[in-house]
Amino acid sequence: MKIAISVAEANLEADVAPRFGRCQHFIIFDLVSGKFDSLGNKSADFTGGAGIATAQMIADSGVQVVLTGNCGPNAYRVLSATGIEVVTGVTGTVKEVIDKYRRGDYLAAGKPSVASHYGSRFGSPG
Amino acid sequence: MIVSVASGKGGTGKTLVATSLALSLKDEHKIQFLDCDVEEPNAHVFMKPVFTESQKVFIPVPSVDEAKCNHCGKCGEVCAFNAVAVTSHKVLVFPELCHGCGACGYLCPQNAITEVANEIGILEVGVAEGIDFVRGKLAIGQVMAPPIIRAVKDIADSNMDTIIDAPPGTSCPVVESIKDSDFCLLVTEPTPFGLNDLALAVATARQLGISCGVILNRAGVGDGAIEEYCRQESMPIMLTIPLDNAIASLYSRGIPLVAGIPAYKISFVELYENILEVVNEGSSSSER
């Protein structure tokens, strides 16, 4: 089983990136083999629809869980339609987060954590 | 003749100029006024039109027949606006991001996509003091201004003398508003912001091949940088309106400048004559 973690830099020491749609990279971690890959996010700087495009990429990557800071409604809709569990409110380094996930410390969000464009200059908290 | 009024920077006086220009010409010409600032139309505050007709504006958005779809992903791939996402067993459409270009349906190998109408706003037609008045209004929550602006221009009479109140900025809605104009008035103010955005607006109009001239509003403050820019760029300053509390007071009460201070009418009539001269010179020199 693979999980995706949003990060600013593509290594296990990196902090979890607070935004799903506009993070720079994802760490795709295989919980069975313990191996990981990184996936660059080409959609990070899109003027519109970044969350949807990022979610499409993650849906195509074959992961079953996403761990991230916040996830907006459009990205959440794509991920949940794919059957991917979304965990929001995640902070810390990738290593710490993987350990916590293995211990069962996280619960799936069940809904988007923020409104559209949260964290961008057009965003509103919500 | 079509004269559009744009600015780059918002709040420089586009509507002040457009409404007073239209009202100054209405006795001598049959004028049509188009409020193309569809995100926040406000010319009606000054012109006080009586609307007689209202039409909904739609754009076509994709609707997917899941029975025909094999989830190949082509539609999501070709969408330039990320309005379509394709998962292994469902296509998700985000109508608020759709520009209605039709690429997804056209390129669907399964013919699984049809287009359905998505209402994005309205246009209203009326009359204000003998001036034919049309305004577009984008619905709340919608973001696609250009299709509404196109609808306003489509319903307008292209043979009539027309004044267009354009939106601020220099992006798609402005381009849609001012393209096909014979002349574009660029209203600015003597501030660094006014100058910065004037330069962007001049570049936009030039790119579109539209001759333009500058109106300097709130003149009397600042450092002369606008005049210097206009000299360097050979941009005519066609009218100067001073910074004047009386004008601000009229505007805040919804009274057009030429209604509150009728002496301005002659300036606007002259402005129009000067525009005509520039446009006629341009067309005769290009015929040569």
- Between residues B88 and A80, the one the model is more confident about: A80
* Residue A10 belongs to a domain: yes
Q: State residue B68's pLDDT score.
A: 96
Confidence of residue A108 (pLDDT cuts 50, 70, 90): confident
The answer as to whether A110 is a domain residue is: no
Let me know if residue A51 belongs to a domain.
Answer: yes
Q: Quick one: average pLDDT of B23-27? A: 96
Least confident of A93-97, B27-31, B96-100: B96-100
- CB of B88 within 8 Å of any CB in chain A? yes
Chain B CA closest to residue A48: B81
Cross-chain CB nearest to A81 (options B81, B92, B97): B92
Instruction: Give the model's pLDDT for residue B40.
Output: 95
Give the 3-state secondary structure of chain B. Answer: CEEEEECECCCCCHHHHHHHHHHHHCCCCCEEEEECCCCCCCHHHHHCCEEEEEEEEEEEEEEECCCCCCCCCHHHHHCCCCCEEECCCCEEECHHHCCCCCHHHHHCCCCCEEEEEEEEEEEEEEEECCEEEEEEEECCCCCCHHHHHHHHHHHCCCCCEEEEECCCECCHHHHHHHCCCCEEEEEECCCHHHHHHHHHHHHHHHHCCCEEEEEEEEECECCCHHHHHHHHHCCCEEEEEECCHHHHHHHHCCCCHHHHCCCHHHHHHHHHHHHHHHHHHHHHHHHC
Best mutation target among B82, B84, B96, B143 (most A Cβ atoms within 10 Å) is B82
Domains in chain B, CATH or no CATH each: 2-56+123-287 (3.40.50.300), 66-111 (3.30.70.20)
Q: Quick check: is A86 in a domain?
A: yes
- The CATH number of whichever domain residue A51 belongs to comes to 3.30.420.130
Domain contains A22: yes
Answer yes or no: is A123 within a domain.
no
In whole angstroms, how far apart are CA B253 and each of B6, B78, B201, B213, B271? 23, 49, 29, 28, 25
- Closest Cβ–Cβ partner in B87, B90, B97 for A49: B97
Q: Which residue of B has its CA nearest to A56?
A: B85
Which tens digit of pLDDT belongs to each residue from B237-261? 999 999 999 999 999 999 999 999 9
pLDDT value, residue A122? 54
With 70 as the cut, is the pLDDT of residue A123 above it?
Answer: no
Write the pLDDT tens digit of every residue in B88-146. 889 999 998 999 999 999 999 999 999 999 999 999 999 999 999 999 999 998 889 99
State the nearest Cα–Cα gap between A92 and chain B, in angstroms. Answer: 30
Residue among B83, A65, A27, A30 nearest A41 (CA) = A27
- A27 inside domain: yes
Asked if the Cβ–Cβ distance from B97 to A78 is below 8 Å, we say no
Domain housing A58: 2-103
Nearest CA-CA partner of B121 in B132, B137, B109, B110: B137
**Is this structure's pTM higher than 0.95?**
no
Say which of A49, A50, A77 has its CB closest to residue B83: A49
Domain count for chain A:
1
